[in-house]
Amino acid sequence: MKNRKLLMIPGPIEFTPEVMRAMGMPTTSHVAPDFVECMGQALERTREVFLCPGGQPFIVAGSGTMAMDMAACNIIEPGDNVLVVNTGYFSDRFGAILERYGARVTHVKSAIGDVPSLDEIEAELRKADYKGLAVTHVDTSTAVCADIEGLAGLCRKYGILSIVDGVCSVAGEELRQEEWGVDIVLTACQKAIGVPPGLALLVASPKAIETFKNRRTPVGSYYSDWANWLPIMESYEDRKAAYFGTQAVNLVWALNISLEQILAEGMDKRFARHRLMSDAFKAAMTAIGLKQVPVNADKAANTLTAPYFPEGVNGSVLPLIKDAGAILAGGLLAEIREKYFRVGHMGAVSAADILATVGAIESGFAKAGYKFDHGVKH
C-alpha cells in the first residue's frame, strides 16, 4: 500500500490481514450460534496461549488497565498487604489500582532500567504477612523484563498469590503460567496478541478463583466482578449463550483468528522468533551507537526496545523517522521522558519489518545530523 507506515510502537501493533478481515465481518448477535462457538473456541485457545491448561480464562471488553482492575478488585480485600515489584510506569499504575481496592501496597523499586533482585524481594516478603505480589512482566516504559519464573517460585514458597501484568508480554515473551505457577496473568489484545484494541484477557489459577470464592467482603467493582463474569465464561465454553454485558462481537472474532494463528506458529517458535527479532533490532541500535534503558541485555525485553537518544538528538527526530516509514513511540517514564524512545516489535513482526524500521531510524537520524556507522555493512 502506498504511503503506508509501519506501526512499530508497543501497542497497538501491525495486525494480520486475516485479523482485519474478521473485524469487518457482519456483526451478529452475541447469542447467535456461530458467535457462541467462536467465543467458546477463543476461551479454549486463550488457555493454550497462556500455557495454562488448568486455568480459568476471562475475555471481557476493556483495555489492559481494565484487566489490571479486574485482577485487583476480585482478589484484594481492604487491608490486604500486596508487594509490587516496581520496574516503572505500569508498576506504579498497578500499585494505585490495588490501593483503590483497599490494599496496603509496598513497592520494591530498582534504579531505572533495572529489576529488583529476588533476594531483595524475598527479604521484603519475610517482613510482613503478604497476600500477594504484583509484577509487570515487561514494563513498557523501560523495556525491562522481570524474572517471572523466579518471582512465582518465591510466591509459592511463601504461599502468596502471584499476579502478572503481561500486557506487553503474553504471546511474545516466554511466559508459562501453569508450569511456573503464576496465579493471575492478564493482557490486552492490542499488544502481542495481535488484535485491534478493546479486549481484556485474563487467566486465573484454581487458587486465584478459590481466593475469590472465599472473600468476606463484596467486590468493589460491578463491571469487573467475577461473580458476574465467571458463569458467562463457563457457559460460552459449554457452547451455551449467556448474557451479562454484550460481548465485543467483532473483536472476539478477530481474537479467535489471531489466537489460531499464534497457536499454528506454536508458542516455543513464537517466543524464539521474538527473541531473534529483538536481538537483531537491538544489535542494529548498538551498531549505530545507541544505548538502551535496560541496564544489561539479560534484563531487556524481547517485545520492545527502549534506546536513549544519542548526544545532540532529541524527540524531534521521531517525525523524520515517521516520514521515512516507521511510526515509533516517545518516552513514557517521567524521569527520562525526553531522553529516549520506544520501538515495539511484537506479534506478527517479520525480519522485513525490522530491516525497514532500522532503515527508517537511520534515515531519520542522518537527517537530524547524527553521524554514525550504518548498521548494515556493505
Dist. CA 130–CA 208, nearest whole Å: 15
Q: How far is the CB of 8 from ligand PLP (least distance, A)?
A: 15
Dist. CA 71–CA 131, nearest whole Å: 13
506504579: which residue's cell?
92
- 180-183: long-range pairs with CB below 8 Å, 24+: 180/148, 180/149, 180/152, 180/153, 181/152, 181/153, 181/155, 181/156, 181/205, 182/52, 182/148, 182/152, 183/132, 183/155, 183/207, 183/208
The one among 46, 136, 247, 292 contacting ligand PLP by CB under 6 A: 136
Q: Which is nearer to ligand PLP, 63 or 106 (CB)?
A: 63
CB 78 within 8 A of CB 102: yes
Pairing state of beta strands 81-86 and 132-136?
parallel
Dist. CA 344–CA 304, nearest whole Å: 4
Q: Which is nearer to ligand PLP, 168 or 175 (CB)?
A: 168
Residues contacting 369, CB < 8 A, separation 6+: 312, 313
188 in contact with ligand PLP (CB under 6 A) = yes
CB 229 within 8 A of CB 244: yes
95 in contact with ligand PLP (CB under 6 A) = no
168 in contact with ligand PLP (CB under 6 A) = yes
Among 278, 40, 89, 285, residue whose Cα is nearest residue 172? 278
90 in contact with ligand PLP (CB under 6 A) = yes
Only segment of 46-54, 62-70, 239-247, 367-375 that touches ligand PLP (CB under 6 A):
62-70
Draw the binding track, 6-45, toward ligand PLP (x: CB under 6 A; -: no contact): ----xx----------------------------------
167 in contact with ligand PLP (CB under 6 A) = yes
Q: Which is nearer to ligand PLP, 135 or 288 (CB)?
A: 135
Only segment of 59-67, 121-129, 256-264, 286-294 that touches ligand PLP (CB under 6 A):
59-67
63 in contact with ligand PLP (CB under 6 A) = yes
142 in contact with ligand PLP (CB under 6 A) = no
Tell me if residue 130 falls in helix, strand or coil: coil
Q: Per DSSP, which regions of the chain are E strands?
A: 6-7, 56-61, 81-86, 104-109, 132-136, 138-139, 144-145, 161-165, 184-188, 199-204, 304-305, 326-327, 329-330, 341-344
140 in contact with ligand PLP (CB under 6 A) = yes
65 in contact with ligand PLP (CB under 6 A) = yes
72 in contact with ligand PLP (CB under 6 A) = no
349 in contact with ligand PLP (CB under 6 A) = no
Draw the binding track, 147-166, toward ligand PLP (x: CB under 6 A; -: no contact): ------------------x-
Q: How many residues line the site for ligand PLP (CB under 6 A)?
A: 12
Residues forming contacts to ligand PLP in the complex (CB under 6 A) are 10-11, 63-65, 90, 136, 140, 165, 167-168, 188
